[in-house]
Structure 1
Amino acid sequence: MSLPPGFLDELRTRLSLTQVVGRKVMWDNKKSNQGKGDMWAPCPFHQEKSASFHVDDRKGFYYCFGCHAKGDAISFVRETENVDFMEAVKILADEAGLPMPERDPRAQEKADTRSELADVMEQAVQHFRLNLNTSNATDARAYLERRGLNKDALARWDIGFAPDNGGVLAALTAKGVPVDQIIAAGLAAKSDRGGAPYDRFRGRIMFPIRDARGRAIAFGGRAMDPNAKAKYYNSPETELFDKSRTLYNVQKARTAAGKGQPLIVSEGYMDVIALAEAGFEAAVAPLGTAVTEHHLHMLWRIAPEPIIALDGDTAGLRAAMRTIDLALPLLVAGQSLRFAMMPAGMDPDDVLKQQGKQAMQDIIDAAIPMVQLLWQRETEGKVFDSPERKAALDKTLREKIKQIVDPSIRSHYGEAIKEMRWDLFRTRKPQQGGKAFTPRKSAAWNPKQQPWERDRAPVASNRSSALGAGIGDQSHMREAVVLATLIATPAVLPKFIAALELMDCSDPNHVQMRNAILRAPDGADLRAALEQELGHDVVASLVGNRMVQITSGLCKPGDTTFAASCLTESFAKLAASRAMPREEEEARYAIDAADESLTWRIRQAKEALDNSDVIASGSSAEMVVAENGATLDSEQLKISRALWESLTIAKPGGDPK
């Protein structure tokens, strides 16, 4: 459903962001200034004691300096309530006393159908629960008791039973529920031979599956017959149930994770129930499918680093590897996965029953980061006794790392793998003077620090000042180019909104303008909206700058192709220029390690530099391609040339091979 123009603006003006956020946080009265709408609190999105979560009521924008969560009232409700955009708008509209716009008849019909089906499913839950107390369910009750579930646990999880002859179809129709609704809810099915409808679930222990709002949307049935075709059988997909977007126990897990418990992803209902009953209440499981991209996004909305608890067998390890491949392109700062592998042949339920809660806690505490499991997959059980095998490993890992979209995370993955590679091959490193080479240590040296945090020896260079000269001014101009281009051609904003959100601005005016652009409603006259919020002079100062006019999309207002090209280049150069100081420091540290990967990287840079004469001579060529497929623009080539010369000076003899 699309909202009429101006509705969201009206909604935002009727609400105070401080009031919306205040339902979920405790304000720091010493740090906050309520009169100015400048409020601070511990962040509701991650566990902390200090007040790093900032709300600017006048701008209608929040930001956490710890986990970097940001947004407005709608995004806050979406994240804290785990609802979609339209549900968040409805919650805020109800709070503001603003009636929602009329929906089209078809949309209303679908909503009514979903409500009716949810009511049918709730009646089925109660029917199956009553059946569990009958004589037909004697074996089922005994099985559940053997699994450690008492009456209180059965009630908490609404566990029921469907006897061999079914019965839910007859019970619901006797209450006046239409057969078509029972079929649409997935409780019954039509016969292929044209006969009467029949119950889908027979001779099974029934586990209700609820959505994030607590509504029963499906069932999982565990067969009592050991010869049944399927041990576990889920409801078919319906208007209510999409297994690729649903997690078992998501509502309770979200609440527990909000209180600081680790979010654990297991493989089935019984694992989730066993974990929750043992005190690990933030446990969920996919339903009859491997973890999907939608599942990952759901998990990350609940917790930044879910723990994938997989069975300790070959299938569990394969599932972990599939999850890694799925997650790599989706990673962003502060958002990843950890993996807790159960002992061989055991699942979480087995561990809890045989070894106890503390053993499970130890396994959860020892969960390894994703990069480590990726490394294990490519190295475990393999021998790297030749240059060709080492090169094959390097190629495989580079291909995996390339899948990571976020450049910062991609860089850190490369650094972590370089460290593990050094550990793997260090015993085979060439020796110097009869002794194995080790990195220089000083009094401040700490092996637990990241490589770029360790003490480094000074590197002689007459180019160090050239590396950083003018970067601040260039970054300021590129920020201005980005903002001016979006003002000139706002149609390209949706494509670059993520990059704009991540753009750190060096100028307070640029910060205000960036935030105002992010808040601007779709389709609005962007320049007029900015002038109204920030003032005519602020916008005129930006777009009236002669240098900005000739280097930004102001040259060709409305030309989306030109604007997209301009923005792509500007964002890339901003990222490159701001990453440069850290890259220089990391490279200088790497000299101490003197490993093969540094030599390879420097050689690639040198070969690219050797080809950069076209830029120095004034050619129109914009990029130079290195042997490894990487591209370097003119600025990066200058940086790399200076770095190469400083490194060759540091390593007498020229080529630091």
Structure 2
Amino acid sequence: MSLPPGFLDELRTRTSLSQVVGRKVMWDPRKSNQGKGDMWAPCPFHQEKSASFHVDDRKGYYYCFGCHAKGDAISFVRETENVDFMEAVEILAREAGLPMPARDPQAQQKSDRRTQLAEVMDLAVQFFRLQLRTGAAQAARSYLDRRGLAPATLERFEIGFAPDAWQGLWDHLTAKGVPEDLILGAGLAKASTKGKRPYDTFRNRIIYPIRDPRGRCIAFGGRAMDPNDNAKYLNSPETELFDKGRSLYNHGPAREAAGKGQPLIVAEGYMDVIALSEAGFGATVAPLGTAVTETQLQLLWRIAPEPIIALDGDTAGLRAAMRVIDTALPLLEAGQSLRFAILPEGKDPDDLIRAGGAGAMQTLLDQAIPMVSLLWQRETEGRVFDSPERKAALDKALREKIKLIKDPSIRGHYGEAIKEMRWDLFGQSRKRAAFNPGFAPGGKGKWQRPGTPAPAQASTKSSMLVASGDGVQNHLRESVILATLVLTPSLIAEFESQLERMVCHAPDLAHLRDILLRYAGPGANADGNLAHKISDAMGPDGVESLLALPHVAIAPSIRRPGDAEIARMTVAEELAKLQAARGWIEEVDEAAEEMFSDVLDESLTWRVAHAAEVHNKAIRSQQEDKAEYDVAPNGVRIKRDERSVLDALTSKINFAKRTR
């Protein structure tokens, strides 16, 4: 329907936004100025305690500084009452005493028909409720008694019974003069394909009325009393009133309860909703026999920013939870997500409440896990990641899921959370040194200076290079690498694999490396809190002490923080030197082991000399004195201190040959 020019302006002029909003909120008298139309209150669209929802009555607009909801009186009524645009206009016009313009005949006819269908549905509610009191409903009443439903509960949820007759409801409604096309249009009966009279949709079933947020009955759900029935639960067919993908059972009462601070719970079925509501969890809804749709998620988020999906712990329940995740990922927004409370296998909410009371259910809700944790569980549970290919497959699957998130900030935080869980899974095989706050004379949070002897470890290899000073040099390089990445966190992802392989023997450096790996990723430090996270983990003076070390402070990447190119070159160069040094140490250690083995030849000397040359090339700089080098018999340049190691090794080889 099109409205005449000026009608909406006149409606907004006659409407006081503060009065419309005031029906849903409690104004904060300390911040509000009613004389100026400047009003503040806790936001009705998300749960909060502070008054961040602002209404400018003169301009006719509202804005929430928390969830960023904004609009005018029409949009406020649409969001809070869950109605469409024209229904919101009608509500405000009626309150303002402004006559609605005449509709075109087709629109008026459609509105009248919907009203008539709703009236027919109310007649059906009355019929079903009366039938529950008859002798034919004895088995249904016994079932409801076994489920613990008191008479007040039956009354509250308007539970009824459809008799086991082909035209019981049909005959009742036609006797009251209801046109046949309305009975069929409401989904209460189905036309026969054999030329006979239409027959009732619901027969021999317990009936649960389904109402929209405005309280109109739009459909029914029926539970079969015959265990051999093809469908245990049956919903009304879709009609002009009912779209099951856009409706929720117990929507209106749940929205009201959630507005009073109760957590919004999404259960599986009618009886789950009733059991939870009777136990004090009034803000409970259920989808109507289908997987949760995008529209239903949007309806849930209008009620509460973080609904809790409470599903059975069996295979079907877990599959349903996983489908919800796939549907929700593209729709996530800041402050708008889901949590999951998985019930014990074989139990529904009614079973849990009967066994442990409402407290047991509350404990389960308190332990509800965020969506990212269930996503990780789905991709990892029951699988073994004992090869690079399997790990890569996991990374690919998770990346594909995270890509579905449209909000870049949430996508970055999901990446961080996945990185943390990945570290916990794969990092267990890597021996992590615990941070020792008392390792240096400087006190808590200070860094061990190069050259300070560390406590001897039983697992430490006895290397021939210990006395050569390479351990000290490696400590210096590790310090520069980590300090550079702290100041340039955007490079962490680029050097992640090398950082994982970097063996830090100093506990403080090993701990810092682990922290950086936890937050590695394209969005590292996206929230600007990386320094705070490191400080929380290592003490307030940890980073400052590292950056103040003389050999760190003079590094180009530290002197010029923020220059990504210099930082990249520094990290790459120092990592190359570390790799060469590690290779040299491993070669000498291996040579020492082979001296007394059955394999002993002159190639051992060449291998050690070659490893020394590779080492020298990596660490050689223009400032090094060429006089520090000698030439080995095979023509390879070698440092003098390494030449002494090589000579000692050669002597031992010759001695071993003579004594064999």
TM-score, length-scaled by structure 1 = 0.69
Query: What is the distance in 1 between the residues matched to 2:205 and 2:18?
Result: 50
Shift of 1:259: 0.7
Q: Structure 1 residue 132 and structure 2 residue 132: aligned? A: yes
**Residue in 1 aligned with 2:117?**
117
| Cα deviation 1:86-109 (Å, max 9, x = unaligned) | 222222222233332332211111
Shift of 1:150: 1.6
Query: What is the distance in 1 between the residues matched to 2:480 and 2:327?
Result: 41
**Residue in 1 aligned with 2:53?**
53
Shift of 1:388: 1.6
Query: What is the distance in 1 between the residues matched to 2:9 and 2:338?
Result: 37
| Cα deviation 1:278-316 (Å, max 9, x = unaligned) | 111111111121111111111111111111111110011
Query: What is the distance in 1 between the residues matched to 2:162 and 2:561?
Result: 70
Shift of 1:582: 14
| Cα deviation 1:574-609 (Å, max 9, x = unaligned) | xxxxx999999x99x98663439848999xxxxxxx
**Contact 1:263-1:307 within 8 A present in 2 as well:** yes
In structure 2, list runs of 5 or more residues that go unmatched.
447-478, 500-510, 525-559, 580-660
Shift of 1:59: 3.0
Query: What is the distance in 2 between the residues matched to 1:459 and 1:327?
Result: 38
Query: What is the distance in 2 between the residues matched to 1:92 and 1:85?
Result: 11
Which of 414-423 and 26-35 deviates more? 26-35
Q: Which amino acid aligns with 1:426?
A: G
Query: What is the distance in 1 between the residues matched to 2:239 and 2:116?
Result: 13
Shift of 1:440: 9.3
Shift of 1:459: 7.8
Query: What is the distance in 2 between the residues matched to 1:370 and 1:463?
Result: 30
| Cα deviation 1:138-157 (Å, max 9, x = unaligned) | 11111110010121111111
Q: Structure 1 393/443 Cα, relative in aligned 2: closer, same or farther at 3 Å?
A: farther
**Residue in 1 aligned with 2:199?**
198
Shift of 1:72: 2.0
**Residue in 1 aligned with 2:345?**
344
SS at match of 2:218: strand
Write out aligned runs for 1:84-99 (5 A).
84-99=84-99
Larger Rg over CA atoms: 2
Shift of 1:420: 0.9
**Contact 2:244-2:288 within 8 A present in 1 as well:** yes
Equivalent residue in structure 1 for 2:564, among 643, 649, 656: 643
Query: What is the distance in 1 between the residues matched to 2:248 and 2:238?
Result: 14
Equivalent residue in structure 1 for 2:517, among 574, 595, 607: 595
Write out aligned runs for 1:333-482 (5 A).
333-429=334-430, 436=433
**Contact 1:590-1:598 within 8 A present in 2 as well:** no
Shift of 1:380: 1.0
SS at match of 2:222: strand
Q: Structure 1 641/103 Cα, relative in aligned 2: closer, same or farther at 3 Å?
A: farther
| Cα deviation 1:293-344 (Å, max 9, x = unaligned) | 1111111111111111111100110110011000000011111111110101
Query: What is the distance in 1 between the residues matched to 2:490 and 2:94?
Result: 49
SS at match of 2:257: helix
SS at match of 1:180: helix
Q: Structure 1 649/319 Cα, relative in aligned 2: closer, same or farther at 3 Å?
A: same
**Contact 1:218-1:234 within 8 A present in 2 as well:** yes
Q: Which amino acid aligns with 2:186?
A: A
Count of aligned pairs: 493
Q: Structure 1 39/228 Cα, relative in aligned 2: closer, same or farther at 3 Å?
A: same
Query: What is the distance in 2 between the residues matched to 1:49 and 1:384?
Result: 45
Shift of 1:42: 2.1
Taking only the aligned residue pairs, the percentage that are identical comes to 68
Q: Which amino acid aligns with 1:642?
A: D
Query: What is the distance in 2 between the residues matched to 1:16 and 1:280?
Result: 34
Query: What is the distance in 1 between the residues matched to 2:295 and 2:521?
Result: 41
**Contact 1:440-1:592 within 8 A present in 2 as well:** no
Q: Which amino acid aligns with 1:427?
A: Q
In structure 1, list runs of 5 or more residues that go unmatched.
446-455, 468-578, 603-638
Shift of 1:28: 2.0
Q: Which amino acid aligns with 1:419?
A: E
Q: Which amino acid aligns with 2:376?
A: W
Query: What is the distance in 2 between the residues matched to 1:332 and 1:580?
Result: 24
| Cα deviation 1:94-129 (Å, max 9, x = unaligned) | 223333233221111111111101101101111111
**Residue in 1 aligned with 2:455?**
none
**Residue in 1 aligned with 2:189?**
188
| Cα deviation 1:482-525 (Å, max 9, x = unaligned) | xxxxxxxxxxxxxxxxxxxxxxxxxxxxxxxxxxxxxxxxxxxx
**Residue in 1 aligned with 2:105?**
105
SS at match of 1:206: strand
Shift of 1:651: 7.8
Q: Structure 1 351/52 Cα, relative in aligned 2: closer, same or farther at 3 Å?
A: same
| Cα deviation 1:352-380 (Å, max 9, x = unaligned) | 22332211111111111100000000111
Q: Which amino acid aligns with 1:49?
A: K
Shift of 1:205: 1.0
Q: Which amino acid aligns with 1:9?
A: D
Query: What is the distance in 2 between the residues matched to 1:304 and 1:65?
Result: 15
**Residue in 2 aligned with 1:532?**
none
SS at match of 2:574: coil
Q: Structure 1 405/590 Cα, relative in aligned 2: closer, same or farther at 3 Å?
A: farther
SS at match of 2:46: coil
**Residue in 2 aligned with 1:151?**
151
Q: Structure 1 461/199 Cα, relative in aligned 2: closer, same or farther at 3 Å?
A: closer
Q: Structure 1 154/311 Cα, relative in aligned 2: closer, same or farther at 3 Å?
A: same
Query: What is the distance in 1 between the residues matched to 2:171 and 2:235?
Result: 20
SS at match of 2:63: strand
**Contact 1:439-1:593 within 8 A present in 2 as well:** no
Query: What is the distance in 2 between the residues matched to 1:228 and 1:210?
Result: 26
Q: Structure 1 307/640 Cα, relative in aligned 2: closer, same or farther at 3 Å?
A: farther
**Contact 1:114-1:240 within 8 A present in 2 as well:** yes
**Contact 2:492-2:517 within 8 A present in 1 as well:** no
Q: Structure 1 590/462 Cα, relative in aligned 2: closer, same or farther at 3 Å?
A: closer
Query: What is the distance in 2 between the residues matched to 1:244 and 1:594?
Result: 45
**Residue in 1 aligned with 2:459?**
none
**Residue in 1 aligned with 2:35?**
35
Query: What is the distance in 1 between the residues matched to 2:335 and 2:283?
Result: 19
Shift of 1:646: 3.3
Q: Which amino acid aligns with 1:92?
A: L
Q: Structure 1 288/443 Cα, relative in aligned 2: closer, same or farther at 3 Å?
A: farther
- Taking only aligned residues, the RMSD between alpha carbons, in angstroms, comes to 3.5
TM-score, length-scaled by structure 2 = 0.69
**Contact 1:384-1:390 within 8 A present in 2 as well:** yes
Shift of 1:60: 2.4
**Residue in 2 aligned with 1:514?**
none
Query: What is the distance in 2 between the residues matched to 1:405 and 1:94?
Result: 40
Q: Structure 1 601/242 Cα, relative in aligned 2: closer, same or farther at 3 Å?
A: closer
SS at match of 1:296: helix
**Contact 1:439-1:592 within 8 A present in 2 as well:** no
Q: Structure 1 169/426 Cα, relative in aligned 2: closer, same or farther at 3 Å?
A: same
Shift of 1:82: 2.1
